[in-house]
Amino acid sequence: MFNKNNNLLEVYVKNVKDNLVSNFDFAAHRRRRQLIKLANYCIWMMVAVVVMIILNILALYPAAKNFYREAKEAKVDYQNLLNDISKNDSTAVDYRLKHLDTHLESSLTNLRQLKYSPIAWLPILKGKINDAENILVAGKLTEETIAMVWNSGQAYIKLINSDKQFDFTKLSAADKKSFLAAIESGKELFPKVNENINYIEESINRIGDPEFLWQYDVDVESFKRNLADFKKIVAAAEPLAQIMPTLAGYPRATNFLFVFQNNNELRPTGGFIGTYGLAITNNGELTKFQTHDVYHLDWPAKEKLKIEPPQPIKKYLGQDYWFMRDANWSPNWPDSAKKIVWFYNQEAAANSLPQEKFDLVIAITPKVVVDLLKIIGPITIRGQVYSSENFTTLLQENTEKNYAKLGLSEFDRKEIVGEIAKELEKKILTKAAEYWQAVSGILADNLASKDILIFSFDSELASFLQEKKWAGAQSDFKGDYLEVVDANLHALKTDAIINKNINYEVKETNDGLLAKVSINYSHLGDLDWKTDKYKTFTRIYIPLGSKLLKVIGFFGSDKDILSGIENGRQWFGAYTEVEPGKLGGLSFEYLLPYNLYEQLKVGKYSLNLDKQPGSRVSDLVVGLYFKEPIIKYNPTGLNVKKIGSSIVWQESLGGDKYYEVNF
C-alpha cells in the first residue's frame, strides 16, 4: 500500500513541474511577442517622425530660403542706408528705409513660420532660431529708430553729418528759427528712442550663440559697439532738445540772470558771487549780454537796504546786512536762485534800475570754462591767451591785480568775464558740428557735478531738470541723508589749495544708530595776495529728528554751534580755521532718528549723500557697522570692502551718491 502511494506522489510532483515549465514558457513567449510588437511600433513611430521631419523640411524649405534671402537683403540695405545717411541724401534714405523695413518684416515672417513648426523644437535648432529672431528683432527696432530720428530729427542729422562745416552763426534768422523748431520737436522723440534702445539691448543680450550668427556674417559685437555709439549720441542730443530751445530764446525770448561762482572761495551753492551777467536770447540771436561786478549793485544799495543776514555772515564776515553777493546761503539751488533774483530786484530798485522778470537763473564755476577750453583750444582776450591750464589763475590775476594793464578801470575790470563768454560762444557755434557732442557731454558732466546750476521758472523745464538731477536741488530721501556744506568766510581764494576729505560712519548700538561725520582739511599753501588761513563755517544737513551729541574741532564756545531746519532737513553748523601748512578738521557725532533704526530692523539701510556744488572732495569714506550679516549691497565694485556685518566704501565725491544695504 505504501509503494502505491509513493508512486502517486511522484506522478503528482512531475505533473506540477511540467505545468510550471509549460506556464513559464507561455509567459516568456507572450513577452517576446509583446516586445516584438513594441519594437515594430517604435520603428514605425521613428519612420513617421522622420517622414514628418522630411515633410516639414520640404514644406518649410521655401520659408527658410526666403528668410535667409530677405535677411541678406536687409543687411545690404542697412549698410547702404548708413552710407546714404552719411551723404545726407534724403531721397536715398527714404527709399532705403522703406526697402529695409520690407526685407526685415518679410524675413521675420518667414522665420516665425519656422519657429512655430514642430521641427523648431529640436534642441539642435531651437536655440539657433531664437538667436536669429533676436537679431532680426533688434534690426527691426533699429530701423524704426533710425526712421524716427531721420523724420523728426533733421536738425541733429545736420549737426552729425555736416562734415564739420555746420556754422550756426552763418544761418539766416529764418534758418535759425527753423533749426530751433526742429530741435524743439525732438522733445517728443527721445522717450520713444530711449525705449527702443532698451528693447534692442534686451534682444541682443538674449542671443546665446553669437558664433552661430558670425558664420552668416552677422557680427553681434560690432552691433553692440554701434548701438553704444548711438546711445552716446542720443544722450548728448537729448539735453539739446530739452534745454537748447529755451537757451536760444525759442519759441519766445529768454531772459537770463547769470552768476559766476568762484569755487576757490567756496560758498554753499558753489562759490562767492563776484560777477553777475544779464542776457537775452531771441530765436538763436544773443540780443543782450552784459557782465558786471556784483559790488556795482551791492555798494550803492548798502545805505538803502537793511536786511538781516544769516548769523555766520554777520559774525565771521563782520557784515551787519545781507547783499546779493552772499545770497547763495542755502545749499539747495532752487531756494538760493529765488533769493538771488529777489536780491537783484531789491538792489536794482535801490539803484533806480528797472525790475527784471527772469526765465532762467544759471550759476557756473570756472571748471566749466576750463573743460570747454580743453575741447576748443585756447582763446585770446586783450592780448592774453587763456588755456585750460592757466584760465583760473590768469583770470583771477587780471580781474584782481592787472586790470589797469589791460586798459580797464577798477569799476570795469569784470568786463573781461563777458568778453571771454562771448569768445567761447563764437568759437563753439562757428564749429557747431565739430564740437556739439563734446560740448553736450561737458555740459551734462558739469550739471551732474553741480558746477552748472540751472533754475527755471518754467514748470516743464524745471521738471525735466529735476528728473535729470540737474536742478541743483538737495536729493529726495527716505532713509539716511548727509550733505557737508562749507562756506569760506574771509579766507580769500584759499579753497584752491585745500585738500578735503570726508569720513562718514554709522554704527548700530543698543540706543539706535550712532552717526559720525568727520571733515578733514589739509592747507597746502602759504600766505599771499590770494591765500589766507582757511576759515569756514561748516554745516551738515542730516535727517530731521537727529540728536546732536558732540562736535569736535570748532572755534568758539558751545553757543557758537548753530542749528536749524531747512528744506525738510536738520542742520548743525560750526566754525573752524586751518593755518597754512597745517591739518585741521571738524567732526559731528549724533544719533539718527529712531525711524531709521526701525527700517534697519526690517532688513534695510539706505543713504543719500549729496555733493555740495563747487566742492572738491578728494577722498570720501562711508563705513557702516551693523550687528546682522549683510546679504546684499549697492554700489558694488573694487572700491568697497565687506566683512560680515560691516561694509566700507572709499571713493572721490564727484557727484551725489546713493548707498543701500540689505540684511
Which own/partner contact pairs does 400-408 have at CB distance under 8 Å and 24+ positions apart?
400/529, 400/530, 401/529, 406/382, 407/382
What's the one-letter identity of residue 238?
A: E
Confidence at 112, pLDDT banded by 50, 70, 90: confident
Decide if 136 contacts 106 (C-beta within 8 A).
no
Q: What are the φ and ψ backbone dihedral angles of 401, each rounded to 5 degrees?
A: -125, -45
Listed in sequence order, the DSSP H helices in 491-641 are 594-601
Least confident range of 157-166, 291-300, 357-366, 631-640: 157-166
Nine-digit cell at 76? 545690404
Tell whether the model's pLDDT for residue 1 goes beyond 90: no
What's the one-letter identity of residue 596?
A: L
Q: What is the tens place of the pLDDT at every residue in 82-97? A: 888 777 777 888 898 9
Least confident range of 55-64, 296-305, 603-612: 55-64
Q: What is the tens place of the pLDDT at every residue in 395-452? A: 999 999 999 999 999 889 999 999 999 999 999 988 877 888 788 889 989 999 999 9
Count the Cβ atoms, other than its own, within 10 Å of residue 481. 25
Decide if 486 contacts 538 (C-beta within 8 A).
yes
Q: What is the tens place of the pLDDT at every residue in 532-571? A: 999 999 999 999 999 999 999 999 999 999 999 999 999 9
**Predicted pLDDT of residue 94:** 87
Tell whether the model's pLDDT for residue 43 goes beyond 80: no
Q: CB under 8 Å to 185, separation ≥6 — which residues? A: 152
The dihedral built from the CA positions of residue 588, 590, 593 and 599, taken in this order, carries a sign that is: positive
**Predicted pLDDT of residue 58:** 46
**Predicted pLDDT of residue 59:** 46
Q: What are the φ and ψ backbone dihedral angles of 475, each rounded to 5 degrees?
A: -65, 145
What does DSSP assign to residue 121? G
**CA angle 312–317–320, rounded 5-degree value:** 80
**Predicted pLDDT of residue 55:** 44
**Predicted pLDDT of residue 437:** 79
Confidence at 480, pLDDT banded by 50, 70, 90: very high
Confidence at 499, pLDDT banded by 50, 70, 90: very high
Confidence at 53, pLDDT banded by 50, 70, 90: very low
What gap in Å lies between CA 246 and CA 184, rounded to an integer?
Answer: 9
The average pLDDT across 307-326 equals: 97
Least confident range of 141-155, 200-214, 250-264, 307-321: 141-155
Nine-digit cell at 489? 568766510
Confidence at 527, pLDDT banded by 50, 70, 90: very high
**Predicted pLDDT of residue 30:** 64
pLDDT, greater one: 122 or 206: 206
Tell whether the model's pLDDT for residue 636 goes beyond 60: yes
**Residue of 595, 632, 611, 653 lying closest to 478 (CA atoms):** 595
Q: What is the tens place of the pLDDT at every residue in 113-172? A: 777 777 667 677 788 888 888 988 998 998 898 888 787 766 666 655 555 567 888 888
**Predicted pLDDT of residue 38:** 65
**Predicted pLDDT of residue 159:** 58
**Predicted pLDDT of residue 120:** 64
**CA angle 628–633–634, rounded 5-degree value:** 155
pLDDT, greater one: 581 or 57: 581
- List Cα–Cα distances, 407 to 398, 404, 413, in angstroms: 11, 5, 9
**Residue of 358, 362, 334, 333 lying closest to 345 (CA atoms):** 358
**Predicted pLDDT of residue 541:** 98
Confidence at 60, pLDDT banded by 50, 70, 90: very low
What gap in Å lies between CA 450 and CA 653, rounded to an integer?
Answer: 11
Average pLDDT, the chain: 88
Q: What are the φ and ψ backbone dihedral angles of 372, each rounded to 5 degrees?
A: -65, -40
Confidence at 232, pLDDT banded by 50, 70, 90: confident
Confidence at 486, pLDDT banded by 50, 70, 90: very high
- The burial of 543, by beta-carbon neighbours within 10 Å (0-12 exposed, 13-18 middle, 19 or more buried), is given as buried
Tell whether the model's pLDDT for residue 214 goes beyond 50: yes
**Residue of 527, 532, 579 lying closest to 555 (CA atoms):** 579
Q: What is the tens place of the pLDDT at every residue in 338-390? A: 999 999 999 999 999 999 999 999 999 999 999 999 999 999 999 999 999 99
Tell whether the model's pLDDT for residue 57 goes beyond 60: no
The average pLDDT across 621-635 equals: 96
The verdict on pTM exceeding 0.85 is no
Tell whether the model's pLDDT for residue 188 goes beyond 90: no
For residue 251, whether the previous peptide bond is cis, meaning omega lies within 30 degrees of 0, is: yes
**Predicted pLDDT of residue 340:** 98
What gap in Å lies between CA 634 and CA 659, rounded to an integer?
Answer: 6
Count the Cβ atoms, other than its own, within 10 Å of residue 99. 16
**Predicted pLDDT of residue 160:** 55
